[in-house]
Structure 1
């Protein structure tokens, strides 16, 4: 029987939850799109778009920016100078320090700041605590390498008057042509311009200026104050310089207008990709109106967007201001390093064809216009020429994706919420009963006591350690949610420490900011503060976060940050962070700082307890460039409908080519109840997401796979088992991403950069370098799909070896129980075929190698293995093999890819010892030559410790062609080790 106190506590908690829901749904459900600004409602975006319109419509437009030639200096890979901004209707100029850095990687960086003026220096409001300089610390969070200055970069005399030229990059084939007046830069490769800065004259850096107060005037919302300005720039729209209202909130701007904008053109490039995250096609649309185009720019302003819209440039949860442009056999890119709200216009122009060049169309140029509210103009340029060159250079700067634990790339089971620890145990038992593999079960906010993080509800989760122990019996994990909003309630040790140590975000007055989120009244941890970072790390220790075990991991949600009663469902821009930087300056990085603090907290937690130092797993919803170093992301609050399933493919592909490949979408859709067909098709698609998690809203019906009923449960189980069988291929793809930045799932343009027909295709994908080509069914009632084959190569159905040949579009049957999955000729695919309950139980299972022979008759593939959990791989504790089949000798070889210069460490020897009995149990050869018909044996030669162990014979089974299916053969139990050197001769 409940005590009176407990009854009152529960009633209070229920009412608080109800109020929270009401606040949240009032804010976002009823209005959705109207809760977020358009460019016309964003003062700095509107001003810069108008500036661009003026420049475009004025025939004699003269951009007011010039490079002072006498200021230019070049030394040790860095060019410096001063850009002068001539003020409109004034004799005054603003001095803008310019730095152009040239790196050994072939990357160039252009930075434009503002010089502090001695006379007429900034006059800020006396009560302002914001820093008076432009925010210049984005690099501290995003950049981790790739900035070694080029020793070979050198200036040269330009062919054009009034330019400074710098040759750099591989063999000096890159060139920066810097125009003095008007200031601009052309970046060339092999003498041809690939990227142009300020070619259209849209460069605009809003300089600092003093505010001259006028007598206060009564005004209604939407009517901006008229403010006088000390200079003579009376033609500018000043209405949003010093404050701006939207949705009942007023944003004060103590530093005045300080936006930066630049036009970046890609001559000859018709397609641009990237600037994640948006729910739209992979190839970015134009944004200035027109049939099928957008009328608003792409927006990057991390936001909690409820039930986000399809095919929209509207902002979502994360921001990666990295764009690539693609034309035939050429890829280039730019990275706009700015943490403030950013808008990007995209337009295209086509030049007329030369009338003497019959049949040749004109060249298309993509023009982009980048606009940020504050901070520096800081842009990196990558000249390729291959997609991998651009992504590797970007990844060298911002970091390669984390190599996750193996469990993290298996299947995750989640909903908001599993309501008790017994509920979790029951789901775990039923997944086993129905033979459905999974690795992780997740807990949303209801596991806590009254939405207080680092606590467990004693009534519903009385025995979390017992729950975790049951999961651990089959090597399964638990993930618990921890958000950045800390409940403002007495006698709660976390908020008490947050306040006493002064580690929270402040409001514009300098007091601790209070807002509203799931717990009600809340404060937000300021993870820009090193002291807050250290304190946050201490909270995750096992003796502090009691009830957690070594198989407990973390999920960071709501870290945009989401604030239910804040402007655009986030915190005010004039809030203050560590160092007195305004929130407007750092907004898009905020989520990454919280993710970063949690990552290091888990790292510290396990470093104390486990000398092996296990890799953390932390999921994030909000992200920025560099977040890929820390864990996984997902695409947020999607809906249980077919358009959201369809959109998930280009969204995740976009994340991959944006340098954050460990990405996924909620399988089944977060909101709503999917039909059984939709749920089944979504699991089939999810089996090809790098991050594979089923998730559902608290108001949805339970939808664990075993509840679907037959035949759906069995079909879903087949999709899950396919994912588990191919985990060796997936893990190898993750390793490639970790070492080169390569996407884990790849769009057509990345794999076939010379195939212009396929540049816009975003509904099919390649898995790593495996040659696996998947096209998930995303249309209701479909029983087949069209798959585009870009190259003149043979492709084979993964399941029955039906043969197709490109280049063409082929129809592939796809009844409900079938996933359209092809294997490209020329590849060798590693897999593990024994069904297990979790990936951890597969650790010592044998392997199957699938050799897919195409036109050349040759094939190759790689396999990367380590212990799947620790950092021992950094000390050489791994297996990395190259498998090569050569048709000329009909021989399959296994070769070591470990660098020859490395000597085996103690960790290496221990790991290889643990794997010494793991073998290859089967070799399948698809599309075998007819000459193999009648063969019964193959010759196997194996090396042990670098010495021949002799030869032996193994059985070969032949299977001839049937209808359109290729002939294939199987070698059963060849008796070779997965980590050893060996040869199988088929001749």
Structure 2
């Protein structure tokens, strides 16, 4: 479904047809629409074949002979790269398939293993039926995904070499090792001599090589046999691994895929040795610690699937595909993290199984370690695997980010609250919502428009009856410090006289069908064409459409929402584009499907950079579909969820999975997209949403209006308090985004990531830390729940964020925290300093030059540390040094602020924003857990920029309900300057 949802009352029959299809699926006995509309592994030819291949290999056990080997004379190592040719015998005549292998050892310590196929012979190509598709394996995923980190480590060296294999040392201090075995081909990756990851250890590698299609002769009919050709009950059973029925053509849901290149899947087994927990490979609606997929109690029966799809009302606790795909998996054991990135843009399935092994068969499991076996299967493309050996979660995340890029530093307003529904019906409606949010003192930053703002679903237009003056609407919002987001989807209405459609066709910039003609499918406008954003000329043209003089009615405060970019095609196979469609340079859609949404997101991002000559501002573009690398372009959300407690609970592990997979600017529709949340659910969802990196309330067109000001008390006040908490903490959120931009670190962090030594936290996915602030949050996600049990992963002191109560915590244990409906369970970890802004405002823009408050949570050793990053929140001037980055430290009786990077800030030529920041100061400092030795003090000394002043200190003694705390009033030191507060 859409970000927009299901059909409005005025929807024409073309769109209504889609919902009739869904309804038919819904009333099919015993089958839900999700299962009926989307393939299971047994219905996907290459997945079925590779699973059968694995079943056969595992059943044979020690008798299984893996067919791939490296002739030693064809292997070499030079300048940080191992090159060889993998061969496989394919018939009794001695014919072989030759697969070029390159293993690159990168300066970051990452290893890249790439297996291609020798170029297909022209005589084989001629045997295939006429097709415009490229006759080679897709090799351009790197072009869209990889932005750096590929420098070769020329210090890598051979540790041992023989006829049977080679061992190569690489990485930091040569602590990593790749042990390559030639026959059968496999690789064992070690760190400090200990095996971490094995490739093809179980011999499940299977690369379906290029082959000509041989038409089998049809037996002549004998006299009197007319009509017998339909008899099928005599067809012999065929091993699924060898079944040719889906090699050249495949049918599902009434759609036939012509498969002009035949079978070309790639599959590989990857074993994480000694690792019980694996994480990542979003997007799926299930637990953070991934489940096994071969059945058993509590496990899945199906592999995890990555095939970006428009899934109507997705089910929970499922390996079923959703809207995006990041084929990046991490494994965790005590004090060790490793990972793999499977760079492939085609449909991919991943099986996960686990087994325990013990060196002592009499030990009854004592001392046994768990190995996690994974089996990766993609329909097409190269076998291209990056191996990360950690050893910490931060190391793995950082090295992955070097390859695919980090989160774009966002517009500051985008970290505020976004108010959306399908649809605000007019410009007057928008202005009235804005006025009422102000009337009830409810802060927000952005209001959104879904598809109904357009003229008859034609993007870059406005409904002239309902949105008569969009410029006046935009100016009204701008005067209140607010922004507007409008939806622009990749399907272009096929209508004569519509300039966008006419130009798309005349410039030949649309996706084509298998015959090379412009593809026509159905989406919200009815008959539609799709922009081919793989084409640089299409990106350039797309960018021109967003210029203010072209997209009339938009202003500098207008931003964009990309939906339906999986792509969603209502009458297509699995509600998407046929796989034999053709993209730029004749690559089939099957090759690029999972990247498609990212290319459209990228085109819109580029468009927003060039809307007006001389206007260089950070874009904000929300996407539904994504791939590895999409984090460079904007934000995502988890799609069409439901107004249920179960979906509220599912959102947290889904967002955490996004964060550890490199795309942390993520959120879920607050309140649920489908349905009408009860008041308690809506209140609890806003409390949880206040801690989503992307915070948006959204609702279906058929849902009741549920803007916060419409709610009865006490729920309106409860939601308003949650929103104000979010706004007060925007400095901490922005600092967390700064770090995500610098090194790819998650913005909300699961316990395994923050505490990789504490095994008790490895499968916890309902609580998290916010950046490096020390804020530990566990939203209430169950009905009528008024307490929560929070797992404490260390032996530091913890305080309640609101009451300053010191909690009776113990490492590895749970603490019960009171959580009545008006309260969000938030703890402060001792040893941290949290920046915030306490003056209530109606938008982030209006807070830009407010003073700061620092909250110091004193650690067990009497210390604390924190930081603040701030820039203008709009431009790219931060790249020229126009920012403030401070480190705050409490050591003993002294609190200091210094430049976090050791810069001489006096030497920076200040732009307009930095000059204005001279008027912004630290207003007050709150020290939670303040030592009793400060109790008698009434003043403290503040030194800054050559001045020394005394300011008031209010000390509050500890009692049964809270820890001792002190407040330094009217500090007055400039936020961008060095300063010291002395308490002794």
| 8 Å CA contact retained: 1:563, 1:571 | yes
TM-score by length of 2: 0.95
| 8 Å CA contact retained: 1:940, 1:953 | yes
Mapped to 1, the partners of 2:864 and 2:85 lie a distance apart of 56
Q: Name the residue aligned to 2:972.
A: 975
Displacement after TM superposition at 1:33 (Å): 1.7
Q: Name the residue aligned to 1:865.
A: 870
| 8 Å CA contact retained: 1:876, 1:904 | no
Out of 387, 400, 404, the position equivalent to 2:406 is: 400
Matched, 1:915 2:907: no
Matched, 1:837 2:842: yes
Out of 141, 145, 160, the position equivalent to 2:144 is: 141
Q: Name the residue aligned to 2:83.
A: 80
| 8 Å CA contact retained: 1:162, 1:181 | yes
Cα 1:737–1:122 change in 2 (3 A) is same
Mapped to 1, the partners of 2:536 and 2:233 lie a distance apart of 38
The C-alpha deviation readout for 1:839-887, integer Å capped at 9, x for no partner, is: 0000010000001012111100010000000000000000000000002
Q: Which moved more, 1:279-288 or 1:926-935?
A: 926-935
- Look up the SS of the partner of 1:58 in the other structure: helix
Mapped to 1, the partners of 2:721 and 2:744 lie a distance apart of 31
Q: Which moved more, 1:66-75 or 1:756-765?
A: 66-75
Q: Name the residue aligned to 1:6.
A: none
Mapping 1:748-827, distance limit 5 Å: 748-804=751-807, 805-807=809-811, 808-827=813-832
The C-alpha deviation readout for 1:335-393, integer Å capped at 9, x for no partner, is: 00000000000000100253687994301000000000000000001110000000000
| 8 Å CA contact retained: 1:556, 1:621 | yes
Mapped to 1, the partners of 2:231 and 2:186 lie a distance apart of 37
Q: Name the residue aligned to 1:3.
A: none
Displacement after TM superposition at 1:180 (Å): 0.4
Matched, 1:525 2:528: no
| 8 Å CA contact retained: 2:50, 2:241 | no
Mapped to 2, the partners of 1:119 and 1:303 lie a distance apart of 35
Q: Name the residue aligned to 1:582.
A: 588
Displacement after TM superposition at 1:27 (Å): 6.6
Mapped to 1, the partners of 2:464 and 2:241 lie a distance apart of 64
Cα 1:692–1:261 change in 2 (3 A) is same
Displacement after TM superposition at 1:151 (Å): 2.2
Matched, 1:390 2:387: no
Cα 1:915–1:801 change in 2 (3 A) is same
Displacement after TM superposition at 1:32 (Å): 2.4
The C-alpha deviation readout for 1:266-301, integer Å capped at 9, x for no partner, is: 000000000000000000000000000000000000
Matched, 1:490 2:496: yes
- Look up the SS of the partner of 2:373 in the other structure: strand
Matched, 1:955 2:952: yes
Matched, 1:660 2:657: no
- Look up the SS of the partner of 1:265 in the other structure: strand
Mapped to 2, the partners of 1:572 and 1:268 lie a distance apart of 41
Mapped to 2, the partners of 1:129 and 1:839 lie a distance apart of 52
Q: Name the residue aligned to 2:112.
A: 109
Q: Name the residue aligned to 1:712.
A: 715
Cα 1:44–1:356 change in 2 (3 A) is closer
Mapped to 2, the partners of 1:11 and 1:858 lie a distance apart of 61
The C-alpha deviation readout for 1:913-963, integer Å capped at 9, x for no partner, is: 1100101111000011122221111111112xxxxx132211110111121
| 8 Å CA contact retained: 2:120, 2:135 | no
Displacement after TM superposition at 1:899 (Å): 5.0
| 8 Å CA contact retained: 1:123, 1:209 | no
- Look up the SS of the partner of 1:392 in the other structure: helix
Out of 848, 851, 856, the position equivalent to 2:856 is: 851
- Look up the SS of the partner of 2:322 in the other structure: coil
Q: Name the residue aligned to 1:351.
A: 357
Number of equivalent positions: 963
Q: Name the residue aligned to 1:693.
A: 696
Q: Name the residue aligned to 1:471.
A: 477
Mapping 1:550-569, distance limit 5 Å: 550-569=556-575
Mapping 1:204-353, distance limit 5 Å: 204-214=206-216, 236-352=242-358
The C-alpha deviation readout for 1:885-910, integer Å capped at 9, x for no partner, is: 002xx10010102354899454x454
Q: Name the residue aligned to 1:179.
A: 181
- Look up the SS of the partner of 2:244 in the other structure: coil
Mapped to 1, the partners of 2:415 and 2:513 lie a distance apart of 40
Matched, 1:643 2:640: no
- Look up the SS of the partner of 1:139 in the other structure: helix
Matched, 1:39 2:41: yes
| 8 Å CA contact retained: 2:334, 2:758 | yes
Out of 916, 927, 930, the position equivalent to 1:928 is: 930
The C-alpha deviation readout for 1:172-225, integer Å capped at 9, x for no partner, is: 001111100000001110011111000000000000000012368999999999
Mapped to 2, the partners of 1:483 and 1:239 lie a distance apart of 37
- Look up the SS of the partner of 2:599 in the other structure: helix
The C-alpha deviation readout for 1:11-33, integer Å capped at 9, x for no partner, is: 99755554555456557897222
Displacement after TM superposition at 1:823 (Å): 0.2
Mapped to 2, the partners of 1:68 and 1:147 lie a distance apart of 27
Mapped to 1, the partners of 2:230 and 2:134 lie a distance apart of 28
- Look up the SS of the partner of 1:67 in the other structure: coil
Displacement after TM superposition at 1:122 (Å): 3.7
Mapped to 1, the partners of 2:234 and 2:676 lie a distance apart of 48
The C-alpha deviation readout for 1:821-843, integer Å capped at 9, x for no partner, is: 00000000000001001000000
Q: Give unmatched runs, 5+ long, in structure 1.
A: 1-9, 944-948
Displacement after TM superposition at 1:692 (Å): 0.1
Q: Name the residue aligned to 2:222.
A: none
| 8 Å CA contact retained: 2:18, 2:571 | no
Displacement after TM superposition at 1:116 (Å): 2.5
Q: Name the residue aligned to 2:686.
A: 683
The C-alpha deviation readout for 1:648-685, integer Å capped at 9, x for no partner, is: 00000000000000000000000000000000000000
- Look up the SS of the partner of 1:803 in the other structure: coil
Q: Name the residue aligned to 2:631.
A: 628
| 8 Å CA contact retained: 1:224, 1:239 | no
Q: Which moved more, 1:188-197 or 1:929-938?
A: 929-938
Q: Give unmatched runs, 5+ long, in structure 2.
A: 1-7, 220-226
Mapped to 2, the partners of 1:219 and 1:273 lie a distance apart of 54
Mapped to 1, the partners of 2:405 and 2:911 lie a distance apart of 29
- Look up the SS of the partner of 1:116 in the other structure: coil
Cα 1:292–1:501 change in 2 (3 A) is same
| 8 Å CA contact retained: 2:323, 2:626 | yes
- Look up the SS of the partner of 1:586 in the other structure: helix
Cα 1:837–1:238 change in 2 (3 A) is same
| 8 Å CA contact retained: 1:20, 1:519 | no
| 8 Å CA contact retained: 1:224, 1:244 | no
Cα 1:904–1:38 change in 2 (3 A) is farther
Mapped to 2, the partners of 1:632 and 1:599 lie a distance apart of 11
Cα 1:938–1:355 change in 2 (3 A) is farther
Q: Which moved more, 1:543-552 or 1:14-23?
A: 14-23
Cα 1:225–1:210 change in 2 (3 A) is farther
- Look up the SS of the partner of 1:268 in the other structure: coil
TM-score by length of 1: 0.95
Mapped to 2, the partners of 1:916 and 1:58 lie a distance apart of 74
Displacement after TM superposition at 1:239 (Å): 1.1
Mapped to 1, the partners of 2:785 and 2:9 lie a distance apart of 49
| 8 Å CA contact retained: 1:28, 1:35 | no
Q: Name the residue aligned to 1:883.
A: 888
- Look up the SS of the partner of 2:918 in the other structure: coil
| 8 Å CA contact retained: 2:953, 2:968 | yes
